[in-house]
Homo-oligomer: A and B are copies of this chain.
Amino acid sequence: MPDSGRQHHVVVVGGGFAGLWATRALAGDDVRITLVDRRNHHLFQPLLYQVATAGLSAPDIAAPLRHILRGQYNVEVRLGEVTDIDTAAHTVTLADGDAIGYDSLLLASGATHAYFGHDDWAGDAPGLKTLDDALLIRRRVLLAFERAEAADDPAERDAWLSFAVVGGGPTGVELAGTLAEIARKTLRREFRHIDPANARVRLVEAGARVLSTFPESLSDKARRQLEKLGVEVLTGAPVSAIDAHGFSLSQPDQTTRAAPGAKPSQIDAASGAGSVGHGVAPVRVAARTVLWAAGVAASPLGALLDAERDRAGRILVDPDLRVPGHPDVFVAGDLASVVQDGKPVPGVAPAAKQMGAHVAAAIRARLTGKPTPAFRYRDFGNLATIGRMAAVVHFGRLKLSGVLAWWFWLVVHIAFLIGFRNRLVVMLNWAWAYWSYQRHARIIFGKPDPPDDPPAL
């Protein structure tokens, strides 16, 4: 319990949905808050794939944390990377050596992508979690078409025009659908030696169906919408190898549509990452651009706490989101492993916001000596976009797909984007993109250093 003589100090690590929502919920409380993030901005992650596919500029979906919180005078924003947490001394240490004392700590540093023991794939199959990731993917995709245009050898050209997205969850579906639209519509007429519409976009999923958290009927609709956009959907197809020139599948019949209800055999923990050794020779696919949307692992900061973690590195928290044995330490968002009614609470933005707000309430309860309440996730539904005029929505008994679902998705996402200005610009960009098929951010920048860019042959 905090000293009674001075103001309770809350340290929040991470300015994502969980951390930011907790911070804002404490605006009217008699606490002082230090929000630490290693980036200067809150990122609206649900639209990150739009930055990766050149539909939006990076600043369109991000806002400086300082700016968001400028009027909340009980908050101090600190740019810094947490390197140590001492729960006995109640301090968080930053990379620059500064130690920050806390009375309550909220660890909400989120998740990163994971390769499940195949970290060597990271260079050849970048994942999508940060703005830097998005800009790297954008550069690779745009450069692939440039390399194809310049290629003399037909096999080389085809390999540059071959794209694969590993992982059939929402991010994988969004990326694959948008890549197909870029190839078929956006780049039309711009090249002289290639027809971008000949590009092949494969969505590779180890499990039996895409969007496995949705009802099976919507997975099926999503698959059909993807195929209509020009994506080749490969299910029951675990990837066994990835390098700069392509990837291998450990199942030979990956083009067969999985029968409804088929069990994902031999699949690793996460979709897309499979294990070799079916007794069948792996199928090799040439593709110079492979994107990774298959696996998520908790932020490494979770390991700084003396606490039990699940396989993905998430911290198993008590029902009130506290870390067992550490009554002053809360965990929220993608770093928290919460099971409710026998099902894990999903790693989505609404869950993170709700957890953040709950932690604020729990801290308030502690300050007034009341018991901390248990967290209850309210599932308002699930939605995923697929591409132009294509999406799936699942809200209770409501199941939508196609154009209506897409409009629904659009309105929800614009409404949730932080800040009036960003909303306006995003709407403008989308309206423009809708009419023109154009994507305004098709600008390659960033230094082309070897580990980032695909080597020219």
Report A's interface with B, CB cutoff 8 A.
39-41, 54, 57-60, 62, 64, 66-67, 70-71, 76-80, 96, 98, 130-132, 135, 142-143, 146, 149-150, 187, 189-193, 421-422, 424-425, 428-429, 432, 436, 438, 440-447, 456
Beta-carbon nearest neighbor of A95 in chain B? B456
- 9 A-B residue contacts at CB 8 Å? A40-B146, A57-B58, A57-B60, A59-B440, A76-B192, A79-B149, A96-B150, A421-B432, A425-B429
Query: Which residue of chain B has the shortest Cβ distance to A152 in the bound complex?
Result: B98
Inter-chain contacts of A190 with B (CB < 8 A): 64, 66-67, 70, 77
Interface pair A446/B132, CB less than 8 Å apart: yes
Closest to A71 in B: B189
CB–CB B135/A445 < 8 A: yes
Complex Cα gap A146–B39 (Å): 11
Q: Which residues of B contact A438 (CB under 8 A)?
A: 67, 421
Q: In the assembled complex, how far is the CB of residue A38 from the closest CB belonging to chain B, in whole angstroms?
A: 10
A60 and B432 alpha carbons, distance in the complex (Å): 14
CA distance A140 to B279 in the complex (A): 55
Say yes or no: A443 contacts B70, CB within 8 Å: no
Nearest Cβ on chain B to A60's Cβ, whole angstroms: 7
Closest partner residue, chain B, to A131 (CB atom):
B445
A412 to B160: give the CA distance in the assembly, Å. Answer: 41
Q: Nearest Cβ in chain B — how far from A67, in angstroms? A: 6
List chain B residues, Cβ under 8 A from A76: 192-193
User: Would B67 and A442 count as touching, CB distance under 8 A?
Assistant: yes
Q: A78-B150, A428-B428 are in contact. Are A59 and B446 (CB under 8 A)?
A: no
Q: Is the CB of B442 within 8 A of A64?
A: yes
Most-contacted residue by chain B among A421, A440, A446 (CB, 10 A): A440
Q: Tell which of B54, B146, B421, B440 touches A440, judged by Cβ atoms closer than 8 Å.
A: B421
Contact of A441 among B54, B59, B428 (CB under 8 A): B59
Q: Inside 8 A of A443's CB, which chain B residues have their CB?
A: 40-41, 58-59, 62, 64, 131
Measured in the bound complex, the distance between the Cα atoms of B98 and A436 in whole Å is: 34
Q: How far is the CA of A422 from the CA of B441 in the complex (A)?
A: 10
Nearest 10 Cβ contacts at the A-B interface = A57-B57, A59-B441, A66-B190, A79-B146, A70-B190, A131-B445, A76-B192, A40-B444, A62-B443, A70-B189
Contacts of A429 in B (CB 8 A): 425
Q: How far apart are the CA atoms of A429 and B98 in the complex, in Å?
A: 38
Q: Which residues of B contact A135 (CB under 8 A)?
A: 445
- Which residue on chain B has the smallest CB distance to residue A42? B443
Check if B428 sits within 8 Å of A425, measured CB to CB: yes
**Distance between A139 CB and nearest chain B CB, rounded to angstroms:** 10
Task: List B contacts of A428 (CB < 8 A).
Answer: 424-425, 428
Q: What CA separation (Å) do A446 and B40 show in the bound complex? A: 12
- Contact for A57 among B59, B78, B146, B456, CB less than 8 A: B59
Q: List chain B residues, Cβ under 8 A from A67.
A: 190, 438, 442
User: Residue of B at shortest CB range from A94?
Assistant: B150
CB distance from A83 to the nearest CB of B (A): 13
Q: A132 to chain B: which residues have CB within 8 Å? A: 445-447
Q: Is the CB of B444 within 8 A of A96?
A: no
CA distance A249 to B57 in the complex (A): 40
Cβ-defined partner of A150 (8 Å) among B98, B187, B421:
B98
- Distance between Cα atoms of A315 and B31 in the complex (Å): 66
Q: Which of B66, B98, B436, B446 contacts A446 (CB 8 A)?
A: B446
Task: Decide if A456 touches B142 in the complex (CB within 8 Å).
Answer: no
Tell me which residues across on chain B come within 8 A of A60, comparing CB atoms. Answer: 57
A70, B187: Cα distance in complex, Å: 9
Inter-chain contacts of A79 with B (CB < 8 A): 143, 146, 149-150
A101 to chain B, nearest CB (A): 15
Query: Which residues of B have CB within 8 Å of A149?
Result: 78-79
A250 CB to closest chain B CB (Å) equals: 34
**Cα–Cα, bound, A74→B96 (Å):** 57
